[in-house]
Amino acid sequence: MKNYRVGVIGCTGMVGQRFVTLIDQHPWFDLKVVAASARSAGKTYEEAIGSRWKIDTPMPESAKKLVVMDATGDIEKIVSQVDFVFSAVDMKKEEIQALEEAYAKHECPVVSNNSAHRWTPDVPMIIPEVNPEHLAVIHDQKKRLGTKRGFIAVKSNCSIQTYVPALSPLMGKYPIEKILVCTYQAISGAGKTFESWPEMLDNVIPFIGGEEEKSEREPLKVWGKVENGVIVSAAEPSITAQCIRVPVSNGHMGAVFVKFKDTKPSREEMIKTWAAYKGRPQELKLPSAPEQFLQYFAEDNRPQTGMDRMLGNGMTVSIGRLREDTQYDYKFVSLAHNTLRGAAGGAVELAELLCAEGWMD
Ligand SMILES: NC(=O)c1ccc[n+]([C@@H]2O[C@H](COP(=O)([O-])OP(=O)(O)OC[C@H]3O[C@@H](n4cnc5c(N)ncnc54)[C@H](OP(=O)(O)O)[C@@H]3O)[C@@H](O)[C@H]2O)c1
């Protein structure tokens, strides 16, 4: 695989820092540009970050001396130095939409962690192991944008990565009628640590703005179909979600209840399906693809956030406690690292898929 020159816009934020760290160790990607707001522009990356470094490994040496560019003011300069950008900016929705489109229109592909374009009908929202076929819609998006190589591809919200991966491999054979899910979400999902959010110690907050709507709607786009140049969301299953913030640094846990439509699989079949499942990233042996995408634990007390979130370098989804339910067919728990599988790691895997399938050339 050839090497790609990469930029990170929103490089100083929590997700941006993860991107910088993952790219530093990446076999295909070279970090050439870091960009953030005008407040950070002109400083070295090290100066711009100051005391804000939130990753548990040190800042990569290769990034320290890069001079931060202005993500909105320096677009032409940035696109001339990179093959594509990762986007993780925190701005108003309309501003992010306009910014990401501006990069795409400058013929620079954008792999975005932001929610701004998730509902743009010709922007694919990808979990690489689940719906890689949605990338086909990029042809139509490019026609709309009038571009040859520029486009936007996004990843889904972190909360849905706890239950969509587990349910997807079952759905082809056993259609699902309804899902009930409660998510127990880490504070890094709000860009916070215990230092910056001490109120979260010994505390649970029963509200995360906008999260329940995303958790109920986004799976339907992921499970949708490409039709006439847009992605048409699936009409079912019906999903209801409650999302709760818990005092955990990293790792979202989901408690999932599922009712199948006509026939239900046996418990053994579900576990066998998870163990055997391989997506396109595993077939292509993408650098970020975990060998085991779905890991089932037989122990009653697993998966545990602290113990299991880093499985597969934070890219494996762990499942446990599968049992029959009195109101639904089954219930189980599942765990996904929210800033790796659920954010920067998922976006890096998406970029790898785009490279491997020729979209970045
Ligand atoms: N944290 C997570 O786990 C997570 C998960 C999924 C999605 N997200 C989404 O990812 C995005 C980033 O999240 P985060 O937690 O990393 O946010 P964050 O820590 O607040 O960082 C925000 C980044 O955006 C930059 N920025 C702010 N205003 C800007 C402007 N006007 N022009 C250019 N850059 C600007 C900031 O640069 P300065 O330092 O220069 O201000 C910083 O680099 C958000 O949209 C968030 O909703 C986060």
Per-position pLDDT tens, the chain of length 361: 789 999 999 999 989 999 999 999 999 999 999 999 999 999 999 999 999 999 989 999 999 999 999 999 999 999 999 999 999 999 999 999 999 999 999 999 999 999 999 999 999 999 999 999 999 999 999 999 999 999 999 999 999 999 999 999 999 999 999 999 999 999 999 989 999 999 999 999 999 999 999 999 999 999 999 999 999 999 999 999 999 999 999 999 999 999 999 999 999 999 999 999 999 999 999 999 999 999 999 999 999 999 999 999 999 999 999 999 999 999 999 999 999 999 999 999 999 999 999 999 9
Residues 184, 325 share a domain: yes
Measure 16 CA to ligand 1 centroid, in angstroms.
Answer: 7
The best mutation among 21, 69, 90 to test binding of ligand 1, ranked by most ligand atoms within 8 Å of the C-beta, falls on 90
Q: Which of 158, 243, 337, 355 is catalytic?
A: 158
Q: What b/e sequence results for 249-272 when a residue is b if at least 16 CB atoms lie within 10 Å of its CB, and e otherwise?
A: bbbbbbbbbbbbeeebbeeeebbe
Residue 191 near ligand 1, beta carbon < 6 Å: yes
What local confidence, expressed as pLDDT, does residue 186 receive?
98
3-state secondary structure of 214: helix
Residues 213, 138 share a domain: no
Residue 49 near ligand 1, beta carbon < 6 Å: no
Q: Is 252 a catalytic residue?
A: yes
Using CA atoms, how far apart are residues 148 and 139, in angstroms rounded to an integer?
9
Residue 43 near ligand 1, beta carbon < 6 Å: no
Residue 35 near ligand 1, beta carbon < 6 Å: no
Residues 307, 200 share a domain: yes
CATH of residue 239: 3.30.360.10
Does residue 361 fall inside a structural domain? no
Residue 37 near ligand 1, beta carbon < 6 Å: yes
Does residue 324 fall inside a structural domain? yes
Residue 13 near ligand 1, beta carbon < 6 Å: yes
Residues 101, 31 share a domain: yes
Measure 269 CA to ligand 1 centroid, in angstroms.
Answer: 41
What local confidence, expressed as pLDDT, does residue 1 receive?
77
Does residue 174 fall inside a structural domain? yes
- Closest atom of ligand 1 relative to the 338 alpha carbon: 3
DSSP alpha helices (H): ranges in the chain?
A: 14-24, 45-49, 61-64, 75-79, 93-105, 138-145, 164-171, 211-222, 267-276, 280-284, 305-308, 311-314, 344-356
Identity of the residue numbered 42: G
The best mutation among 37, 52, 214, 338 to test binding of ligand 1, ranked by most ligand atoms within 8 Å of the C-beta, falls on 37
Residues 135, 20 share a domain: yes
Identity of the residue numbered 288: S
Residue 112 near ligand 1, beta carbon < 6 Å: no
- Closest atom of ligand 1 relative to the 15 alpha carbon: 16
Residues 169, 149 share a domain: no
Residues 348, 241 share a domain: no
Residues 187, 137 share a domain: no
Full domain range(s) for residue 187:
159-336
Q: Is 158 a catalytic residue?
A: yes
Instruction: Of 3, 63, 12, give the one whose Cα is nearest residue 41.
Output: 12
Domain count for the chain, please give it: 2
Residue 69 near ligand 1, beta carbon < 6 Å: no
CA-closest residue to ligand 1 atom 11? 88
According to DSSP, residue 199 is labeled: G
Measure 182 CA to ligand 1 centroid, in angstroms.
Answer: 26
Using CA atoms, how far apart are residues 68 and 43, in angstroms rounded to an integer?
6
Residues 166, 66 share a domain: no
Residues 97, 212 share a domain: no
